[in-house]
Amino acid sequence: MRKLIAIIAAAVVTLAFAGVTPAQAYLYTRNGYTFADTSYRYNVPGSYFKTTSRYDAAKGYLYVGLTGYDQTCDRYQAAVRIRGWDVQTARWRYHNILWVSNPCKGQGSGTIAIPVRALGVDAIVVADGLRDLTFGRNNVRIWYR
């Protein structure tokens, strides 16, 4: 019973500190891949990202494919912030920012590999925003342990 309570408490802490609330963007899993986007409430207008991720249990890596869209024509580049939360230390253990190079309705894509097991990360969240300016108040949790 204590183990179950500890697991539930860890999940609640992860969600609370990661800023994740349910049903704010699409998120689903099919054939081992997780698909998500950043079209949730309180996202940053003009920035939109889609993610496709898969966890490699043998290597302990989370592979995340990102496609970003800058939906406006201004001087700010659409960006995505990827962070990894550790429940035990109650700290962000991973932090990365990627952006679309063309700030005028540009598009960009890429794949990153996050060593979640080596970092001791319990959840990976993404938020869209504008490079060097701001990020959305909410996150989309694309992976958790």
Predicted model pTM: 0.78
Cα separation, 22 vs 36, whole angstroms: 13
Domain count, the chain: 1
Query: Any residues with CB less than 8 A from the CB of 2 and at least 6 apart, and which?
Result: none
* Per-residue pLDDT of the chain in tens (145 residues, 90 and over written 9): 444 444 444 444 344 444 444 435 688 999 999 999 888 777 788 899 999 999 999 999 999 999 999 999 999 999 999 999 999 999 999 999 999 999 999 999 999 999 999 999 999 999 999 998 999 887 889 999 8
CA nearest 66: which of 97, 23, 126, 110?
Answer: 110
Name the residue range of residue 45's domain: 2-144
